[in-house]
Each structure stands twice: as structure tokens, then as C-alpha cells.
Amino acid sequence: MQIKESSSVYDAIIVGSGAGGGMSAKVLADAGLKIAVVEAGPFFDPADPEQTTQLKWPYESPRRGASTIRAFGEFDMAYGGWEIEGEPYTRKDGTKFDWFRSHMLGGRTNHWGRISLRFGPKDFKHKDVDGLGDNWPIGYEDVKPFYDKVDKLIGVFGTNEGLPNDPDGFFLPPPKPRLHELVYIKGARKSNIPVIPSRMSMLTKKINNDRGVCFYCGQCSRSCQVYADFSAGSCLIFPAQKSGGQIDLYVNSVVREVTTNEEGKATGVSYISKDDRKEYKLKGKVVVLAASACSSARILLNSKSKQHPNGLGNSSNIVGKYLHDSTGSSRAGFIPGLMNRKVYNEDGVGGMHVYTPWWLDNKNLDFPRGYHIEIWGGMGMPNYGFGFNPNEFNKFFGLTTGGYGESLRKDVKKYYGSVLGFGGRGEAIAREDNYCEIDPTTVDQFGIPVLRFNYKWSNFERNQARHMQSTFEELIHNMGGEVLGDTPSKEEDYGLLAPGRIIHEVGTTRMGNDPKNSVVNKFQQLHDVNNVFITDAGPFVSQGDKNCTWTILALSWRTSDYIVEQLKQQNI
């Protein structure tokens, strides 16, 4: 089989169309460059009636929204999941890493929680504070101008609170708290735990004439058909196309490797078309990898050549190393004060209207680094699972559980909206011995060698999870509630979820000034090859107790500006 090669040469080829790739596409196309965006999944537009799941009712599905096919329920807007048929990954030595992939235009930004937190000054230099991990080669002041621009371009609601490590920004006004959130605020204050309005990228107010304003259906995980939430397709790629950008979209195209020439410079990419299962090549002056931290590492490791025998950009042997996900642990409580609720529409935005940023000093704790608290609850739309064990809470009142008949109706209404849950999301220390690598024994259905994960939590993360659990229990008691389930034991890692489960995996191509212990420089340019850049979360040195997307966007913009400048100066 001959590989089909296109004759045109792009200024830049971007691999992946999520937050990082979408932003690169927008910035490079707006600068007038001719670019190709290569996406492994199909085209997706949340406004396409054939694709949208927003405002659908559970009874429109024969499985009523059950998660049999889509991991987060079948109205969730991520094509893909923890396991994808024909595209395996493997784990070594008892590793429990789980890898969530979403192959579609916009990637995981179509379903994500939209929690849009800037990293603070301390997050870039945390080694200075506790001696652990490494500092970034850049600081908050380098990224701040880009965070500001991202806020204004994409839109994020929140409030300026003047907190030292949770920086202010250019916020849209937040929505008012819901009832259970008021209960939470009251309960948290009893323990001096701060609560502030959430910072999330939905438009509570108009930001431009291309995108609609939030209409409060609470379904951002389904991707918004009026583009009132941030998804990379609807908010970055489509606008860039509309304003005349020269963007060729290659969908259903799985990149195998970055191609290089005799001098070792990148010449483009080769990809396999899912439509005809044939291999193609694209030529470009610059290659931008934004396929997700692990997928980009995989592409680099698979891009072996005479000049790059250890994989592209891997002379340091660091590609794939320092992989880390946020820590996560959850708990829920039954709040009797929220029983017998009057029913009204409180869908609000998708997710929480309030949250708790990290509030303690680790000096007094048995773990480094913090976590923030996300909360959920309320009278949501019934979906598969609603009504299971309908009167389980009777046990708290000494009443019988179970039964049948008309009384179940009363029980369901009595308890509707009376559960409040927490998710702690914290920072893990990046370690060289947590990594992904190529599994020499396994290929996917396209013949591309797959990733093998090696990952172990340490007691830092376990102790942090234990602290989350005791905090959650204290909060539930403060609210007059009953904690649901038993306190997770030491053997259960105190409820610490397996790495990968929070879907914030970062660090596989970390940035640094020293080419011996980092993969990219501070502009996310490979140390080894100056015309390859990485704009997903691979270059993260650490991740803070924040979600990674807003920083992916800011850094992608920064790197893309740098690419434009370097091309202009003919340095690459």
C-alpha cells in the first residue's frame, strides 16, 4: 500500500481539536496562516439536530439515559469513554490508571464541567514552598495576560475575591446560589470553610454576537446548541472559520506519527483515515501536538527515526514521565432540612453555582498541596437510576425500607432533592516513576502501538483523600445531615479514586529550561526539534488544586503567538 501524500504544505498542522488544539487553530488561523486540524473523531456541532442531546427527555431513549454506551450517561456529549473498542491501552504492575478519551471535533471540551480556574502564583513555583516536585520555568506573571485574554474571548463567570492563589480575572457575573448551595454555605461557615461563587465558562451574559446566552437547562455536559458554554469546536474553531481563517479540517483521521527529514526536523504528520483505513501524509512547516497529554506523548514515542531513535523529542527520555492526574474523592449526605421540597425549576447552569477553593496551610497537615471542593445536589431531571432504593432514608427515622404501591410515590417526593454531594479535587505530586510508555506487545486496530500505564499513588495523595473525607463528614454534620455510606478505609485508599478518573491527566511532556530533564522549553517547543510544539496539558510541570483547561487555553494562546512570531522571523 502506498501512502498518499498531499502536495500542499501547510503553515501548521494541528493534531487534536480540544481546548489546546482549538485555541491553536483560532490563533494561527486569525494570524492568516494556512492550517490543517487533524482530529481522530467525527465532525461535531452541538447545534446539529442530528447530534444534539440537549433538552432531550429521558423517555426519548429506550435505556432512559443509562450509561451502558456513554460512560456518563447516554445524553453526555463525549464520543468515546474509558475503553474504546479496537483502541486499547494496557497497565503494568498492578497499575489502576484509567484513561478517558473523547474522539470528536472539540474532544472532551464538549462534555467537561466548565470549571475554569486559573493557576495561582504559588502553583507555578510550589517547589519553593515545600521542596517537592519542580517549579515551572515560567510564573503567573507570564501567563496572566493570556488568562485575561481567554476570559474575555471565551467568557467565564465568577467574582474577584482578591485571594492570593486564586487570582482575579475578567468575570461575567455568577448565577445566584440554589437552595442546597445556601445550605452548604451555612454549613461551611460553621467550620470557617470559605465558599465563593463558582468560576465556570458559561455565558451568564452576552459576550459577542456569535454566541447565545445561557438559558439555564443545567445540561452543559451535553454541549450547548446556542454555544453558551465553552466547547472548542463551537467557540474557537467555528468562529475562526467564519472570520475567513484558512482551516482544513481532517476528521476521522488518526495521527500515527510526526514525520521528519534528514536534518531531523518535522515535515508533517502521517495519519490513518478511519473512513478507508488507508494511511495519508500531510506536510507542514510546523506541527502542533494537542491530542491530549497521553496521546501526544504516544505520537512522539511512536515517531521514531534515524535522527530520533528514542522517539521524537525524547533524547531526555522524559516523554511520558511525570504523568499525573488530580486527586479525587467523593461523599454524599442526606439532608433532612431539604426534605418535602416545593418543586420548581432550579436546573441553573450545568454544575455548581458555588465552590470552596483550597483554604488551609499545609504546614499543619500530613500531606502537601491542597484541594478544592465541588458540590452537587438539587432537584435534577430524572434519569436512569432515579428512584432506586426510593425510601432508603427511612432508616434514619426508624421506618421500614422497601415496600410497594402508592406509598412509594410519597417517599420519592419526600426525598426529592434532599441529597447533597461533594467532590474533592486536589493536587498530586508529579513523579518521574508515574508514566506512560509504548507497550511493545500491543497495537490498536490501526496498527499503531498503544500506551502502557505505570502509576502509583503515594501517601501524600492518600492522606489528602483522608482529609477530604473527614472534611466532608464535618460539613454534612454541620448541615444537620446524615453521611451516606461508611468512611472509606485505609485499604480503600480513603476513597481516593484511581488515577485518570478525574480526567485531568497532565505532565507527560513537561516544560523546563534544561533539555536533560524536560521535553519542551517554556514556549512549549520541543528542545530537540524547533518546529514541533505541544499545546495540550502535556507540558504542565504541576497542576495545582485547579482544573487544567483554563491553563491549557492560556498556554496554547501564548505558544501560538510565539509560533506566529517565529514563523514571521523565519526562525522555524
Partner 1 sequence: MDRRKSIKSILLGTVAGGLVVHGCKPEAESAVETAAVKSGENNFGRTPEEKEIIEKLNSEQFFNEHELVTIAVLSNLIMPPNDKFGGATDAGVPEFIEFMAKDIPELQTNLRGGLMWLDHKSNTDFGAEFKSVVEEQQKQILDLIAFYDSEIPMDKQPLEIQFFSLMRNLTLTGYYTSKIGIEDLGYKGNMPNVWDGVPEDVLQQHGLSYDEEWLSKCVDQSKRAVIAEWDDEGNLLT
- Touching partner 1, residues 114-173 (CB under 8 A): 148, 152, 155, 157, 159-160, 168-173
Which distant-in-sequence residues (6+ apart) come within 8 Å of 491 by Cβ? none
Restricting to residues 74-103, name those near partner 1 by CB under 8 A: 74-75, 77, 79
We find the least distance from the C-beta atom of residue 567 to partner 1, in angstroms, to be: 31
Here's the x/- map for partner 1, 325-364, by CB under 8 A: it reads as ------------xx--xxxxxxxxx---------------
Report the phi/psi class of residue 53: left, alpha or beta, with left for phi > 0 and alpha for psi in -120 to 50: alpha
- Rounded Cα–Cα distance for residues 204 and 146 (Å): 22
Restricting to residues 185-244, name those near partner 1 by CB under 8 A: 186, 197, 204-209, 213, 215-219
Which of 4, 8, 60, 145 touches partner 1 (CB under 8 A)?
A: 60
Q: Quick check: 16 binds partner 1 (CB under 8 A)?
A: no
- Rounded Cα–Cα distance for residues 72 and 89 (Å): 20
Restricting to residues 511-570, name those near partner 1 by CB under 8 A: none
Q: Quick check: 420 binds partner 1 (CB under 8 A)?
A: no
- Rounded Cα–Cα distance for residues 331 and 485 (Å): 8
We find the least distance from the C-beta atom of residue 394 to partner 1, in angstroms, to be: 8
The number of CA neighbours under 13 Å toward the Cβ of 349 is 30
**Residue pair 508/293 in contact by the 8 Å Cβ criterion:** yes
Q: Quick check: 182 binds partner 1 (CB under 8 A)?
A: yes
Range in contact with partner 1 (rule: CB under 8 A) among 18-26, 91-99, 177-185, 491-499: 177-185
Range in contact with partner 1 (rule: CB under 8 A) among 4-12, 64-72, 457-465, 499-507: 64-72
Which of 107, 177, 311, 500 touches partner 1 (CB under 8 A)?
A: 177
**Residue pair 232/21 in contact by the 8 Å Cβ criterion:** yes
We find the least distance from the C-beta atom of residue 45 to partner 1, in angstroms, to be: 11
Measured from the CB atom, the residue of 204 and 356 that comes closer to partner 1 is: 204
Task: Name the residue with cell 506541527.
Answer: 287
Which of 47, 71, 163, 381 touches partner 1 (CB under 8 A)?
A: 381
- Rounded Cα–Cα distance for residues 452 and 95 (Å): 10
- Rounded Cα–Cα distance for residues 140 and 124 (Å): 7
Range in contact with partner 1 (rule: CB under 8 A) among 135-143, 239-247, 379-387, 564-572: 379-387
Which of 265, 413, 414, 456 touches partner 1 (CB under 8 A)?
A: 413
**Residue pair 430/445 in contact by the 8 Å Cβ criterion:** no
Number of residues that bind partner 1 (CB under 8 A): 95
We find the least distance from the C-beta atom of residue 301 to partner 1, in angstroms, to be: 29
H/E segment holding residue 124: helix 121-124
We find the least distance from the C-beta atom of residue 76 to partner 1, in angstroms, to be: 10
Measured from the CB atom, the residue of 58 and 88 that comes closer to partner 1 is: 58
We find the least distance from the C-beta atom of residue 260 to partner 1, in angstroms, to be: 35
Measured from the CB atom, the residue of 47 and 129 that comes closer to partner 1 is: 47
We find the least distance from the C-beta atom of residue 395 to partner 1, in angstroms, to be: 4
We find the least distance from the C-beta atom of residue 535 to partner 1, in angstroms, to be: 25
What is the distance in angstroms between the CA of the first residue and the CA of the last residue of the chain?
33
- Rounded Cα–Cα distance for residues 451 and 208 (Å): 41
CB atoms within 10 A of CB 105: 27
Q: Quick check: 21 binds partner 1 (CB under 8 A)?
A: no
Which of 262, 364, 404, 491 touches partner 1 (CB under 8 A)?
A: 404
The number of CA neighbours under 13 Å toward the Cβ of 230 is 28
**Three-state SS for 373?**
strand
Measured from the CB atom, the residue of 400 and 571 that comes closer to partner 1 is: 400
Nearest to 279 by CA among 287, 268, 288, 270: 270
Restricting to residues 458-517, name those near partner 1 by CB under 8 A: none
**Residue pair 467/331 in contact by the 8 Å Cβ criterion:** no
Which of 30, 34, 43, 56 touches partner 1 (CB under 8 A)?
A: 56
Which of 249, 412, 448, 484 touches partner 1 (CB under 8 A)?
A: 412
Q: Quick check: 397 binds partner 1 (CB under 8 A)?
A: no
Which of 18, 113, 370, 390 touches partner 1 (CB under 8 A)?
A: 390
**Residue pair 81/100 in contact by the 8 Å Cβ criterion:** yes
Measured CA to CA in angstroms, residue 46 lies from 103, 207, 320 at distances of 15, 19, 33
Here's the x/- map for partner 1, 270-309, by CB under 8 A: it reads as ----------------------------------------
We find the least distance from the C-beta atom of residue 406 to partner 1, in angstroms, to be: 6
Which distant-in-sequence residues (6+ apart) come within 8 Å of 131 by Cβ? none
Q: What is the dihedral of CA 494, 436, 276, 278, to 10 degrees?
A: 180
Backbone angles phi, psi at 209, to 5 degrees: -90, 0
Q: Quick check: 53 binds partner 1 (CB under 8 A)?
A: yes
We find the least distance from the C-beta atom of residue 164 to partner 1, in angstroms, to be: 16
H/E segment holding residue 11: strand 4-15
We find the least distance from the C-beta atom of residue 243 to partner 1, in angstroms, to be: 17
Q: Quick check: 32 binds partner 1 (CB under 8 A)?
A: no
Which of 129, 179, 448, 483 touches partner 1 (CB under 8 A)?
A: 179
Q: Give start and end residues of each alpha helix (H) in 155-236.
A: 179-190, 232
Judged on CB neighbours under 10 Å (0-12, 13-18, 19+), 477 is middle
Which distant-in-sequence residues (6+ apart) come within 8 Å of 342 by Cβ? none
Measured from the CB atom, the residue of 210 and 514 that comes closer to partner 1 is: 210
Which of 50, 263, 361, 491 touches partner 1 (CB under 8 A)?
A: 50
Measured from the CB atom, the residue of 103 and 510 that comes closer to partner 1 is: 103
184-222 per-residue burial string, b: 16 or more CB within 10 A, e: under 16: bbebbeeeebbbbbbbbbbbbeebeeebebbebbbbbbb
DSSP strand pairing (419-426 vs 196-197): unpaired
We find the least distance from the C-beta atom of residue 547 to partner 1, in angstroms, to be: 20
Measured from the CB atom, the residue of 67 and 463 that comes closer to partner 1 is: 67
